[in-house]
Amino acid sequence: MGAVRVDLSGQTAVITGSTSGIGAALAEGLARNGANIVLNGLGDAGEIEQLRARIASEHSVTCLYHPSNMLKPDEIADLIAFAKKETGRLDILVNNAGIQHVAPIDEFPTEKWDAIIGINLSSVFHAMRAAVPVMKAGGHGRIVNIASAHALRASPFKSAYIAAKHGVYGLTKAVALEVAQAGITANCINPGYVKTPLVENQIADTAKSRGISEEEVVNDVMLAAQPTKKFVTYDQLLGALLYLVSDDGANVNGNAITVDGGWTAK
């Protein structure tokens, strides 16, 4: 459930890709601390409505859903405009939507490259581009981009993902410098391996690419990189997020909190 508590009452948070995995957990964590939530992401309409209604009722906040596709710049701008129109403000933007594809460079499908760069990197640009004027007008903003340990380190067979995540970190630093005097901060959270649907799907693909068993992927590839030998939990990421969005986090800017069990210490 997470031990860190911050009073976010009355604030509005938009979390992209929050119908699953890390995004859903972070959205619920922000709601638990009082923020009104705008969910976004793909998935079954009935399941998304159940998630939306449950977050609203369990945490007594406004929880809305906007279906914008992170490959479409106009729809991303609509997501930000929707949050402002429906709740009157925008305080927190968590750019979390992401996809993965694992293949050697010479077999990497070009359409997968385009999709990963579009969803994992360009959508972060489009969302920040739309959100910064709203945050500036409100005199307050916290942008938190969910990058990855792969924003700092490479692994084979993930060329598009590594390029996108390194790009997100650089983009975050540039925007942080631009907004520093406007009451806004922009930072990354860099998770190591978290056992979400995205990672579950990678296990089989990585096993195929490397010609090893799925058990070997988990123990010898994924958690081999993570010195604690433990998957990162949703609550450990939520703790980092709550610090960044709190008043105490106001001077952390253009940086990253890396929650990777020591992976990038190597």
Q: Which residues are catalytic?
A: 161
- Phi, psi for residue 38 in degrees, rounded to 5: -115, 110
225 binds ligand NAD per the rule CB under 6 A: no
Please tell me the count of residues contacting ligand NAD according to CB under 6 A: 28
**Between 183 and 201, whose beta carbon lies closer to ligand NAD?**
201
**Between 35 and 70, whose beta carbon lies closer to ligand NAD?**
70
Beta strands in the chain (DSSP E): 12-15, 36-40, 63-66, 92-95, 141-146, 184-191, 256-259
Which residues, 6+ apart, have CB-to-CB distance to 73 below 8 Å?
122, 126
**Between 119 and 221, whose beta carbon lies closer to ligand NAD?**
119
**Between 51 and 138, whose beta carbon lies closer to ligand NAD?**
51
17 binds ligand NAD per the rule CB under 6 A: yes
Q: Which of residues 184-223 bind ligand NAD (CB under 6 A)?
A: 191, 193-194, 196-199
Q: Are 249 and 235 in contact (CB under 8 A)?
A: no
Q: Which of residues 109-138 bind ligand NAD (CB under 6 A)?
A: 119-120
Q: Taking the complex as a whole, how short is the minimal distance between the CB of residue 211 and ligand NAD, in angstroms?
A: 22
Binding pattern for the stretch 30-69 against ligand NAD, x by CB under 6 A and - elsewhere: -----------xxx-------------------------x
> How many residues does the structure list for the chain?
266
Residue type, 164: A
In angstroms, rounded to a whole number, what is the distance separating the alpha carbons of residues 146 and 40? 15
**Between 11 and 96, whose beta carbon lies closer to ligand NAD?**
96
**CA 194 vs CA 107, 152, 165, 247, 256: distances in Å:** 27, 17, 16, 27, 17
In angstroms, rounded to a whole number, what is the distance separating the alpha carbons of residues 216 and 212? 6
* Residue appearing with tokens 């760069």: 117
User: Residue 108 has which token pair?
Assistant: 């990497």
User: Residue 152 has which token pair?
Assistant: 């700092």
| Of 13-21, 102-110, 134-142, 242-250: span binding ligand NAD (CB under 6 A) | 13-21
Residues at the contact surface with ligand NAD, assessed by CB under 6 A = 17-23, 41-43, 69-71, 96-99, 119-120, 146, 148, 191, 193-194, 196-199
